[in-house]
Chain A
Amino acid sequence: MRMEHWWFTARLRLRSILRRSRVEQELDEELQFHLEHKIEEGIAQGLSPKEARYRALRAMDGLEQRKEEIRDMRRIHWLTDFLDDVHYAVRSLRRTSGLTAFVVVTLALGIGLTAMSFSTVDALIFRPYPVPHPGGVVSLVSTSHDNSYDNFSYREYLDIRSHTRSYDGVIANTNLGTVGFSADPGTTPRARAGMMVSGNYFHVLGVEPRLGRAFRDDEDQAPGRDAVVVLAPDFWKNEFASDPGVVGRTIRLNGRDFTVIGVAPETFPGMLIFANPDFYMPLAMAPVFSTNPQKRFFEDRDDRELSVKARLNRGTTQRQAHNELAVLAQNFERDYPQLNRNRGAAVHTQFEMLTRNDVNASPWKFLVICFILALSVLLVACTNVAGLLLSRARARTREIAVRLALGAGRFRLIRLLLTESLIFACFGGLGGIAVAYGGIQFLCSTTIPAELPVTNPFRMDTRVLLACLGLSLLSALLCGLAPALQSASADLVNGLKSAGVDVPGRKRLWGRNALVVAQVSTSLMLLTAAFLMVRGFRHNLAEGTKFEQHHLLLVRFDPRMVQYNAAQTQQFYKLLIERVRVAPGVRSAGLTQNPPLALERFDTVAFVPDGFEMPRDRENFVSTMDTVDEGYFETIGVPILRGRGFLASDTAEAPRVAVVNEQFAKHYWPGADAVGKHIRLDKRAGAPVEIVGVAETIKYRSGMEKPLDFVYLPLAQHPIPRMLLLVRSTGDPLPLVQPVKDIVRALDPNLPMLQTRSYEDLYRYNFVDGPGAAIKGVGTMGAVGLLLAIAGLYGVVAYNVSRRTREIGIRMALGAGSRDVLRLVMGQGLVLVGMGTAIGLAMSFGVERLLNSLFNTGGVDIAVYLAVAPSMVVVTMLAAYVPARRAARIAPTQALRYE
Chain B
Amino acid sequence: MSKPNDLVQGTLDLLLLKMLALEPLHGWAISLRLKSISGDVLQVSEGSLYPALHKLEQEGWIAAEWKQTENNRRAKFYSLTRLGRKQLESEAANWQRLSAAISHVIQIAEV
Q: Point out residues on A near B: beta carbons under 8 Å.
A: 1, 4-5, 8-9, 12-13, 26, 29-31, 33-34, 37-38, 59-62, 65-66, 69-70, 73-75
In the complex the two chains form, is A70's CB within 8 Å of B83's CB? no
Q: How far is the CA of A436 from the CA of B67 in the complex (A)?
A: 58
Contact between B60 and A61, CB atoms less than 8 A apart: no
- Pick the interface stretch among B12-20, B25-33, B91-99, B100-108: B25-33
> Is the beta-carbon distance between B57 and A12 smaller than 8 angstroms?
yes
Interface residues of B in 15-55 (CB under 8 A from A): 26-28, 31, 45-48, 50-51, 54-55
**Once bound together, how far apart are the Cα atoms of A792 and B58, in whole Å?**
50
B interface residues (Cβ-Cβ under 8 A, vs A):
2, 26-28, 31, 45-48, 50-51, 54-55, 57-60, 66, 73-76, 81, 83, 86
Could you give 16 example pairs across A and B, Cβ below 8 Å?
Answer: A1-B83, A29-B74, A30-B50, A33-B73, A33-B74, A33-B76, A34-B31, A37-B28, A61-B2, A61-B45, A61-B47, A66-B47, A69-B2, A69-B51, A73-B54, A73-B58
Assembled-state Cα–Cα distance A60/B44 (Å): 11
- Residues on the B chain within 8 Å of A37, using CB: 28
Check if B45 sits within 8 Å of A59, measured CB to CB.
yes
Given contacts A62-B47, A73-B51, 11 further A-B contacts (CB under 8 A): A1-B86, A12-B58, A13-B58, A29-B74, A33-B27, A33-B75, A34-B46, A38-B28, A59-B46, A66-B47, A75-B58
Would you call B26 and A33 a contact (CB within 8 A)?
yes
Cβ contact within 8 Å between A38 and B46: yes
A30 near B76 with CB under 8 A, answer yes
**Given A33-B76, A34-B28, A70-B54, CB of A8 within 8 Å of CB of B45:** no
A69 contacts which chain B residues (CB < 8 A)?
A: 2, 51
Choose one: A9, A26, A30; the contact of B58 (CB below 8 Å): A9
Query: In the complex, are the beta carbons of A9 and B51 less than 8 A apart?
Result: no
Question: Hey, which chain A residues are within 8 Å of B28, CB to CB?
Answer: 33-34, 37-38
Please measure, in the bound complex, the distance between the C-alpha atom of A66 and the C-alpha atom of B58, giving whole angstroms: 16
Tell which of B27, B31, B45, B46 touches A30, judged by Cβ atoms closer than 8 Å: B27
Most chain B Cβ neighbours within 10 Å, of A12, A34, A61: A34
Contacts of B74 in A (CB 8 A): 29, 33
* CA gap between A38 and B32 in the complex, in Å: 10
Which A residue's beta carbon lies closest to that of B26? A33
* Residue contact B83 to A8, C-beta cutoff 8 Å: yes
Given A9-B58, A29-B74, A33-B27, A70-B47 contact (CB < 8 Å): no
CA A75 – CA B31 in complex, angstroms? 25
Shortest 7 CB-CB contacts between residues of A and residues of B: A61-B47, A8-B60, A73-B54, A37-B28, A69-B51, A73-B55, A59-B46
Q: Which of A60, A74, A75 contacts B47 (CB 8 A)?
A: A60
Residue of A nearest to B56 (CB): A73
Partner of B50, one of A5, A12, A31, A75: A31
Neighbouring B residues of A61 by C-beta, 8 Å: 2, 45-48
- A9 near B45 (CB under 8 angstroms)? no
Structural contact, B2 and A66, CB atoms closer than 8 A: yes
**Contact partner of B51 among A12, A34, A70, CB < 8 A?**
A70
Q: Which residue of B lies closest to A30 (CB)?
A: B76
> Which A residues are in CB contact (< 8 Å) with B48?
61
Q: When chains A and B are docked, how far (Å) is the Cα of A600 from the Cα of B105?
A: 93
Residues of the A chain whose Cβ atoms lie less than 8 Å from the Cβ of B45: 59, 61
Which residue of chain A is the closest to B55 with respect to CB atoms?
A73
Partner of B83, one of A5, A34, A73: A5
Do B54 and A74 touch (CB < 8 A)?
Answer: yes
- Closest Cβ of chain A: how far from B73's Cβ, in Å? 7
CB contacts (< 8 Å) of B66 on chain A: these are 26
CB < 8 Å neighbour of A9 from B46, B54, B59: B59
Residues of A within 8 A of B2 (CB): 61, 65-66, 69
Report the bound CA distance from A5 to B81 in whole Å.
Answer: 11
Given contacts A9-B60, A33-B28, contact A4 B83 (CB under 8 A): yes
Q: Flag if B58 contacts A74 (CB, 8 Å).
A: yes
Min CB gap A619→B, angstroms? 89
Question: Which of chain A's residues have a CB closer than 8 A to the CB of B51?
Answer: 66, 69-70, 73
Residue among A1, A8, A29, A59 facing the most chain B CB atoms (10 A cut-off): A8
Q: Which residues of A contact B75 (CB under 8 A)?
A: 30, 33
Q: When chains A and B are docked, how far (Å) is the Cα of A243 from the Cα of B43? A: 83
CA distance A66 to B47 in the complex (A): 6
User: Which A residues are in CB contact (< 8 Å) with B83?
Assistant: 1, 4-5, 8
Contacts of A1 in B (CB 8 A): 83, 86
Chain A residues within 8 Å of B54, by CB: 70, 73-74
Q: Is the CB of A8 within 8 A of B27?
A: no
* A70 to B52 CA separation, bound complex (whole angstroms): 8
- Cα A73 to Cα B74 in complex, Å, equals 23
For residue B46, give the distance in angstroms from its CB to the closest CB of chain A: 5
Q: Report A-chain residues with C-beta under 8 Å of the C-beta of B58.
A: 9, 12-13, 73-75
Is B50 a contact partner of A66 (Cβ separation < 8 A)?
Answer: yes
Contacts of A62 in B (CB 8 A): 47
Q: Chain A nearest CB: distance from B110 CB in Å?
A: 39
Contact assessment for B60 and A5 in the assembled complex, using a CB-CB cutoff below 8 Å: yes
Which residue in chain A gives the minimum CB-CB distance to B45? A61
Shortest Cβ distance from A15 into chain B, in angstroms?
10
Docked pose: A766 CA to B47 CA in angstroms: 82
B47 engages A12 (CB within 8 Å): no
In whole angstroms, what is the CA distance A69 to B55 when docked? 10
User: How far does the alpha carbon of A747 sit from the alpha carbon of B50 in the complex, in Å?
Assistant: 98
**Given A5-B83, A29-B74, A34-B28, do A70 and B50 touch, yes or no (CB 8 Å)?**
yes
- A606 to B13 CA separation, bound complex (whole angstroms): 95
A475–B63 Cα distance when bound, in Å, is 44
Minimum Cβ distance to chain B for residue A72 (Å): 8
Enumerate chain B residues within 8 angstroms of A4, measured Cβ to Cβ.
Answer: 83
Contact A8–B50 (Cβ < 8 Å) = no
Partner of A60, one of B46, B55, B57: B46
For A75, the chain B residues whose CB sits under 8 A away are 58
Report A-chain residues with C-beta under 8 Å of the C-beta of B31: 34
- Complex CA–CA separation, A505 to B88 (angstroms): 63
Instruction: With CB as the reference atom, state the residue of chain A lying closest to B28.
Output: A37
Q: A29-B74, A60-B47, A70-B50 are in contact. Are A34 and B27 (CB under 8 A)?
A: yes
Smallest CB separation, B47 vs chain A (Å): 3
A75–B60 alpha-carbon span in the complex (Å): 13
What are the residues of chain B within 8 A of A31 when measuring CB–CB? 50
Report the Cα distance A441→B72, complex, angstroms: 70
CA distance A4 to B86 in the complex (A): 12
A37 to B81, CA, bound (A): 27
Cα-based distance from A543 to B46 in the complex (angstroms): 94
Which residues of chain A come closer than 8 Å to B57, judged between CB atoms? Answer: 12
Query: From residue A261, how far is it (CB to closest CB) to chain B in Å?
Result: 59
Give Cα A12–Cα B45 distance, bound, in whole angstroms: 26
A56 to chain B, nearest CB (A): 8
Contact B47–A59 (Cβ < 8 Å): yes
- Residues on B with C-beta less than 8 A from A12 are 57-58, 60
CB contact between A26 and one of B55, B59, B60, B76 (< 8 Å): that residue: B76
Residue of chain A at shortest CB distance from B86:
A1
A711 CB → nearest B CB, Å = 87
| Chain A residues positioned under 8 Å from B27 (CB to CB) | 30, 33-34
Most buried by A among B26, B48, B54, B86: B54
**Distance in Å from the Cβ of B34 to the closest Cβ of chain A?**
13
What's the nearest-Cβ distance from chain B to residue A741, in Å? 78
Closest-by-CB residue of B relative to A72 is: B51
- How many whole Å from A617's CB to the nearest CB in chain B? 87
Alpha-carbon gap, A34 to B50, bound state (A): 10
CB distance from A62 to the nearest CB of B (A): 7
Interface centre among B2, B48, B60 (most CB of A within 10 A): B60
A residues near B73, Cβ cutoff 8 Å? 33
Q: Specify which of B47, B73, B74 lies most central, judged by the most chain A CB atoms within 10 Å of its CB.
A: B47
- Taking the nearest CB of chain A, how far is it from the CB of B86, in angstroms? 8
Q: Give Cα A8–Cα B86 distance, bound, in whole angstroms.
A: 15
How far does the Cβ of A66 sit from chain B's closest Cβ, in whole Å? 5
In the assembled complex, the CB of A533 is this many whole angstroms from the nearest CB of chain B, namely: 65
Chain B residues positioned under 8 Å from A66 (CB to CB): 2, 47, 50-51
